[in-house]
Structure 1
Amino acid sequence: MVDRDFDAQLSRLFADPPAFSDAEAFRARVESRLDRGWTLRRLAIGAAGGVAGLFAVGQLITSRFATDLRHASSEGVSGVDLGVDKVMAQVNQFVSTPASVETLWLGAALAAIALTFAITRLVEEF
């Protein structure tokens, strides 16, 4: 049979780490390394998000609107107004389709989530 007092005393002994003379210096070094790591991660994630956003905008422009814009630029200044009208018609058509409305709602939801994460991060830091 196990002695409960001995078991409790043994678990208390191993629950507390031994105290070293340089414990505070070690803790400060570890925290400074972690802080540098978080700063680097935040910058890397922000840069990656910016690059991904630029690629997304570029893909959207080249896939959806490039043909009309090229056609409008080849017709000259008078054709630009017609080209802008065509582009706006395509934008309206894009927004009016059910799948694209779902895409817009998804984008709005993701933006709200990102804003929530940013606000919670600011609250934690200040």
Structure 2
Amino acid sequence: MVDRDFDAQLARLFAEPPALADAEAFHQRVERRLDRGWALRRLAIGAAGGVAGLIAVGQLIASRFATDLRAASSEGVSTVDLGVDRVMDQVNQFVATPASVETLWLGAALAAIALAFAVTRLVEEF
């Protein structure tokens, strides 16, 4: 018959890994490497998001006003003033439309949220 006390004692011995002398130093080294990796990833993701946002804004502006600018340049130097006036009218019309104002407010709100997340991360780090 099997001795249950011996089995329980044997199970307890193998349930816990043996403690090594440098276990705490090893733990701290691993934690530092993981923290450094996460900080680098956060910076890289934030930078990529910022670049993507700038590209998106550039594409939005270029697609919105590219046709007017092409038309103004094809009309010649004498009609550049008319082209500039048209572009300014388009800008005013873009800002005056309700959907455009909502888009601008949405962008401002997203920027504020991103800033809040960045501040939160900085507070957690330091």
Q: Considering the TM-score relative to the shorter chain, is it more than 0.5?
A: yes
Is 2:87 the counterpart of 1:92?
A: no
* Cα deviation, residue 114, structure 1: 1.1
Inter-partner Cα distance in structure 2 for 1:77 and 1:46: 43
* Cα deviation, residue 47, structure 1: 3.1
Inter-partner Cα distance in structure 2 for 1:81 and 1:27: 69
Give the TM-score taking structure 2 as reference length: 0.71
Are residues 30 and 65 of structure 1, via their aligned partners in 2, closer, same or farther at CA, if it must alter by over 3 Å? same
* Cα deviation, residue 112, structure 1: 0.9
Runs of at least 4 residues of structure 1 off by over 4 A? none
2:38 maps to what in 1?
Answer: 38
* Cα deviation, residue 123, structure 1: 2.7
Moved more, 96-105 or 71-80: 71-80
Per-residue deviation, residues 47-83 of structure 1 (Å, max 9, x unmatched)? 3213312331332133210011111122334433222
2:54 maps to what in 1?
Answer: 54
Letter in 1 for 2:99: A
**Structure 2: runs of 5 or more not aligned:** 1-16
Matches within 5 A, 1:1-126: 19-126=19-126
* Cα deviation, residue 106, structure 1: 1.0
Q: Secondary structure at the match of 2:29?
A: helix
Inter-partner Cα distance in structure 1 for 2:25 and 2:84: 65
Per-residue deviation, residues 13-51 of structure 1 (Å, max 9, x unmatched)? xxxx97542222222221122122123212321332133
Letter in 1 for 2:54: L
2:12 maps to what in 1?
Answer: none
**Structure 1: runs of 5 or more not aligned:** 1-16
Larger Rg: 2
Percent identity, aligned pairs only? 86
Give the TM-score taking structure 1 as reference length: 0.71
CA-based RMSD: 2.2
